[in-house]
Amino acid sequence: MRTLPCPSRDEAQAHLLRAIETYVHAGISKGYAASQAEIDNVIAIYDAYDAGLGVPSEALKGGELLQQLRDAIYSGYDFTQTGGKLASIRSTLMAGVELCPICGIAPPRQLDHHLPRSDYRPLAVYSRNLVPLCQECNQSKSKSAADEPAQQFFHPYLENIPDALFLRAGVAIEGGGLIATFDIDPAAPIQPLVRERLSFVLQRLKLNERYAREINIYLTSQATAVRMVFGSAGADGVRGYLLAQADVESRQFHLNHWRPVMLRALAAHAGFCNGEFAAVLPA
Ligand SMILES: [Zn+2]
């Protein structure tokens, strides 16, 4: 889990106006001709969203706005699809995000409404409520925002996910296979609520199961290097190699990415470094 640069608000009002502008489709008028006062009310909801760091609240649902306005904003989100008049929202948010900020496994392919579109209609086209996620994370994330603080997802734009190392991996070699289990390190210097929320995300998005699949693929790519360094420098060589590779992956991704976390756990596994890797790495 990692933070992403917070999108600019410069175009928020322009996007909103474009999303709801009126037009006629197949003889039916669509969109909504909003007054400036109504636009100001939506922008005030954006302000409240930013100030509250995207935490769900009744006020953000815009109950005082006319239903037609809320529905028009909701439908306006469809224009962010490729080829739509608001496609630039999508391309701008996706640009430069190589991997899903939650799992770090796959590239983001979808925009997730941090606060769900169906309940929080005024925020349907607000860039800061739209987070690039991979398909699997987006689909596993609930379609409703939890009231329970320990079950609230981190906001990759508005919250600071701790800088400290908090993801932990335990590795065991059993029955010719490597079993890695990830959790949130109880000793990590983070607030108890932050710990609970991180654990919730790990569980909710089934990251353990998903990392297990990735680990096998990744370790295959390291098999030759581990073997060679063991041949020339023994267990210490393997340990040094794994730690050096962990530093590379950490810089390339981030501190709490599953790859450096797993490499450091393997470096701490005396048996793996001392030749047991042969049982789990492909020949
Ligand atoms: Zn993901």
Give residue 132 CA to ligand 1 midpoint distance, Å: 9
Task: State the Cα–Cα distance between residues 133 and 146, nearest whole angstrom.
Answer: 19
pLDDT in tens, the chain (283 residues): 899 999 999 999 999 999 999 999 899 999 999 999 999 999 999 999 999 999 999 999 999 999 999 999 999 999 999 999 999 999 999 999 999 999 999 999 999 999 999 999 999 999 999 999 999 999 998 777 788 999 999 999 999 888 899 999 999 998 888 999 999 999 999 999 999 999 999 999 999 999 988 998 899 999 999 999 999 999 999 999 999 999 999 999 889 999 999 999 999 999 999 999 999 998 8
Task: State the Cα–Cα distance between residues 159 and 116, nearest whole angstrom.
Answer: 18
Tens digits of per-residue pLDDT, 129-160?
999 999 999 999 877 778 899 999 999 999 98
Task: State the Cα–Cα distance between residues 56 and 114, nearest whole angstrom.
Answer: 9
Give residue 100 CA to ligand 1 midpoint distance, Å: 5
Q: Does residue 108 contact residue 99 with C-beta atoms inside 8 Å? A: yes
Task: State the Cα–Cα distance between residues 45 and 49, nearest whole angstrom.
Answer: 6
Q: Does residue 124 contact residue 73 with C-beta atoms inside 8 Å? A: yes
Give residue 34 CA to ligand 1 midpoint distance, Å: 37
Model pLDDT, residue 81: 95
Tens digits of per-residue pLDDT, 82-134?
999 999 999 999 999 999 999 999 999 999 999 999 999 999 999 999 999 99
Task: State the Cα–Cα distance between residues 206 and 251, nearest whole angstrom.
Answer: 25
Give residue 273 CA to ligand 1 midpoint distance, Å: 30
Q: Which residues contact 266 (CB under 8 A, 6 or more apart)?
A: 171, 242, 272, 273
Q: First CA to last CA across the chain, in angstroms?
A: 33
The packing angle between helices 207-252 and 258-267, to 10°, is 90
Task: State the Cα–Cα distance between residues 112 and 100, nearest whole angstrom.
Answer: 11
Map tokens 């439908």 to a residue.
75
pTM for this entry: 0.90
Model pLDDT, residue 212: 87
Task: State the Cα–Cα distance between residues 136 and 164, nearest whole angstrom.
Answer: 26
Q: What are phi and psi of 57, to 5 degrees?
A: -155, 155
